[in-house]
Structure 1
Amino acid sequence: MYIWEQKDWPHFTFDSDKISVVSEECHILQGKLLSKMECLGFAEKEDKVLSTITADIIKSSEIEGLILNKEQVRSSVARRLGIERAGLVYADRNIDAVVEMMLDATQNYEKPLTEERLFGWHACLFPTGYSGMYKIDVGKYRTNEMQVVSGGIGKEKIHYEAPSAKQVPLEMQKFLEWFNAWPGDSLVKSSIAHLWFVTIHPFDDGNGRITRAISDMLLCRSDKTNLRFYSMSSQIEKQKKSYYEILENTQKGNLDITEWILWFLNCLLNAIKESYAEAESVLKKYSFLHQIEDISLNERQHRVLNKLLDPEWFGVLNTSKWAKLAKCSTDTALRDITDLIEKGILEKESAGGRSTNYKLKKI
């Protein structure tokens, strides 16, 4: 028996005491992240929003096995948000349409969710009327039965069977009435909406991506801003295996969805924590650069220092690594490094000789 076949569907229940602990932790960290982002300059904040929305769109598609061109997505987002960036590339209409859907969900998060709006999002995902090679019903609810199946021909495994097509309009009416009226915690509401919508599976295709757009819409309401600083879809993609497991188990369970909500909120907590750590790294970088802004440095030194301050930097710094990063000879690299040591910016990490490594010195 699937969850939607339960007698009291869709009257979900959950343990409020268990959930409130994690929900409160999420809310506190949301506030800390927003405060941290306020410390960034305008350009840095813009960059973070641009990279977050780009990642959200790309990762939401990757969860479904669809790979989008990162530069095209980034360019399309930048243009629509009015962010001026050099090197923007042309984005084809499929990517522009996907970006349009996500931005409508997050930039217009206070607007009601309606059938017309959902149909518009669906049309954005499939502007040609096809999903791959197959023609589908676009901008309207499905008229066929829906199963989630894996495995090759003859070895199919049915993971889930959605409500019949004739039930979908009424199921969606109930969902939309709840969505636009329920006054509860937006984080808990986001988790319930995610499960409820994907359980109905109202469209021929694209249900997962629209589900995550709906979740993001409610997360914006919780943040009370359309500025996106963390990506829930990126975190779900990292935890994809457990995501599908908890989803399948919940859809085959009873109406107590406590475990699903806890999984969702902990996934969200991980997403916010990751973004908070990145924000701290960015602030440390700009604090460091501010402290050395009056020190005379050449172009190579500026370039390599920025690399060292990047949150994704790993490994050791030695003359050969410097030469590679700065595209210069090892002799020039040693002169650059020695100069920075004399200026108190770098220091030796180990004993001298061929194995000498260097690191940034705290100023």
Structure 2
Amino acid sequence: MMIEPNYSISHRILKHISQIEAAKEVIENAPLVPFWERQFREEKALRQIHHSTKLEGNMLSLDEVEAVLSGEKIVAKRREIQEVINYRKVTEYIDMFQSSDKTQISEDTIKTVHSLLVHEILPDKWSGEYRKANVVIEASDTKEVTHRAPDFEAVPELVRSLVDWLNSEEIADVHPILKSGIFHVIFAKIHPFIEANGRTSRAVSTLILYLEGYDIKKFFSLDEYYDEDPLSYYLALQSVQGIDGDMTEWLEFFSEGLAVELDRVKRRVLEMSKEYKTRKSKGQIALNERQELILHYLEDHGQIRNKDWRELIPDVSDDTVLRDLKDLMDKEVIEKKGKTKAAYYQLTD
């Protein structure tokens, strides 16, 4: 079976893509110290894990998820703890996949993601294996059937067709956001596994964006947007009637979600850039860990003197720290005030 997505490029989709491109430009070029880049990525990973598992019924709070990821013991259901651990493995796999020389997603990629998600949750016979029974999707409140997935015997061919479509030359000019959104909804409609289809579709859709140059420093999490209003998310998915159904409404929702999430990230990035007063610098500012410590100290205290940085970085020679300070001055991040023993450093205006 050939996958031929049915959709129109609406005004809303174009508007959202324009907003996404504008936010992407700001985020990728904002001068941020490495400390904040790491913090953004760590926060994103935490939110992604929490919200994607919560969408599927996991009851752990954000703080509890953070505790689990830190290796702390918490009182909770074993399955919920395992779901969090498994999703972290998926985020690590996605990062590894992106940093490798692989450029295309395969069936094995999808099966690997699923296997990681259900590790020690489902029996091994269902891990990364397509379902062997027919399924229907019901509304959680009314139990009304909202979707009848394709016959289980058709699943292998449907997934292969979806992967072939994703990697075909015919869609080389299709915008990455549309590719990701189309994969997301078609995969959900195929419902190839007995469990964890939602988490698998969201994870692979994210990987598609990453491979197409839309990782955007890995600062964003679409799962959080969906989890803020799960009903709208599921209604948008249900708006597509089967694999051949019109996907326009869903793609409007999908692109809006990314636009909203990236606008949040953009505002935070700009706030951090302003806070560290590096907005006048050109390009990304490369800093070492000692320089990061100095900047954090300046942000908290306003100025730093010789005695301060000797206490802040006691195991480093004066010459090394002075070179770090001179480098920051050359980059116009800080400036020196006063002379001799009364001299101090502050962030540039």
Scaled by the length of structure 1, the TM-score of the pair is: 0.67
1:199 aligns with 2:180: no
Kept in 1, the 8 Å contact 2:82–2:120? The answer is no
1:29 aligns with 2:23: yes
1:15 aligns with 2:8: yes
Report the Cα distance in structure 2 between the residues aligned to 1:226 and 1:233, rounded to whole angstroms: 16
What is the aligned counterpart of 1:117 among 109, 120, 123?
A: 109
Question: 1:254: how far off?
Answer: 6.0
Report the Cα distance in structure 2 between the residues aligned to 1:219 and 1:212, rounded to whole angstroms: 11
- Is 97-106 or 156-165 further displaced after alignment? 97-106
Match of 1:325 in 2: none
Sort the Cα spacing of 1:291 and 1:69 in 2 relative to 1 into closer, same or farther, 3 A: closer
Kept in 2, the 8 Å contact 1:193–1:215? The answer is yes
- Is 102-111 or 159-168 further displaced after alignment? 102-111
Question: 1:93: how far off?
Answer: 5.9
Residue 188 of structure 2 aligns to a residue whose secondary structure is: helix
Sort the Cα spacing of 1:178 and 1:76 in 2 relative to 1 into closer, same or farther, 3 A: farther
1:89 aligns with 2:89: no
Match of 1:147 in 2: 136
**CA-atom RMSD, angstroms?**
3.0
Question: 1:262: how far off?
Answer: 1.1
What is the aligned counterpart of 1:294 among 276, 297, 303?
A: 303
Report the Cα distance in structure 1 between the residues aligned to 2:129 and 2:194, rounded to whole angstroms: 9
Report the Cα distance in structure 2 between the residues aligned to 1:106 and 1:100, rounded to whole angstroms: 10
Q: Where do 1:142-291 residues align within 5 Å?
A: 142-151=131-140, 156-181=143-168, 182-183=171-172, 184-225=174-215, 227-251=217-241, 255-287=245-277, 290=299
Kept in 2, the 8 Å contact 1:72–1:89? The answer is no
Kept in 2, the 8 Å contact 1:14–1:256? The answer is yes
Residue 217 of structure 2 aligns to a residue whose secondary structure is: coil
1:105 aligns with 2:100: no
Residue 40 of structure 1 aligns to a residue whose secondary structure is: coil
Deviations 1:252-275 (A, max 9, x none): 696332221111101110000111
5+ residue gaps, structure 1, are: 1-7, 78-87, 297-362
Question: 1:150: how far off?
Answer: 3.0
Residue 119 of structure 2 aligns to a residue whose secondary structure is: coil
Report the Cα distance in structure 1 between the residues aligned to 2:183 and 2:209, rounded to whole angstroms: 11
Residue 251 of structure 1 aligns to a residue whose secondary structure is: coil
Report the Cα distance in structure 2 between the residues aligned to 1:116 and 1:76, rounded to whole angstroms: 28
Kept in 2, the 8 Å contact 1:190–1:218? The answer is yes
Report the Cα distance in structure 1 between the residues aligned to 2:159 and 2:58, rounded to whole angstroms: 26
Report the Cα distance in structure 2 between the residues aligned to 1:217 and 1:74, rounded to whole angstroms: 23
Report the Cα distance in structure 2 between the residues aligned to 1:240 and 1:233, rounded to whole angstroms: 10
Q: Where do 1:30-45 residues align within 5 Å?
A: 30-36=24-30, 39-45=31-37
Residue 144 of structure 1 aligns to a residue whose secondary structure is: coil
Sort the Cα spacing of 1:236 and 1:67 in 2 relative to 1 into closer, same or farther, 3 A: same
Match of 2:313 in 1: none
Sort the Cα spacing of 1:151 and 1:276 in 2 relative to 1 into closer, same or farther, 3 A: closer
Report the Cα distance in structure 1 between the residues aligned to 2:242 and 2:82, rounded to whole angstroms: 38
Kept in 2, the 8 Å contact 1:52–1:229? The answer is yes
Code of the residue aligned with 1:61 in structure 2: it is T
Kept in 2, the 8 Å contact 1:186–1:221? The answer is no
Question: 1:64: how far off?
Answer: 1.0
Scaled by the length of structure 2, the TM-score of the pair is: 0.69
Kept in 2, the 8 Å contact 1:72–1:95? The answer is no
Match of 1:57 in 2: 49
- Is 287-296 or 194-203 further displaced after alignment? 287-296
Question: 1:226: how far off?
Answer: 7.4
Q: State the percentage of identical aligned residues.
A: 19
Question: 1:240: how far off?
Answer: 1.6
Residue 218 of structure 2 aligns to a residue whose secondary structure is: coil
- Is 273-282 or 261-270 further displaced after alignment? 273-282
Question: 1:157: how far off?
Answer: 1.1
Report the Cα distance in structure 1 between the residues aligned to 2:197 and 2:225, rounded to whole angstroms: 18
Residue 126 of structure 2 aligns to a residue whose secondary structure is: coil
Code of the residue aligned with 2:179 in structure 1: it is K
Sort the Cα spacing of 1:285 and 1:67 in 2 relative to 1 into closer, same or farther, 3 A: farther
Aligned residues: 273
Report the Cα distance in structure 1 between the residues aligned to 2:8 and 2:109, rounded to whole angstroms: 32
Code of the residue aligned with 1:199 in structure 2: it is K
Report the Cα distance in structure 2 between the residues aligned to 1:253 and 1:116, rounded to whole angstroms: 22
Report the Cα distance in structure 1 between the residues aligned to 2:59 and 2:210, rounded to whole angstroms: 25
Question: 1:283: how far off?
Answer: 2.8
Greater RCO (Cα-Cα under 8 Å, separation 6 or more): 2
Question: 1:103: how far off?
Answer: 2.4
Residue 234 of structure 1 aligns to a residue whose secondary structure is: helix
Code of the residue aligned with 1:157 in structure 2: it is E
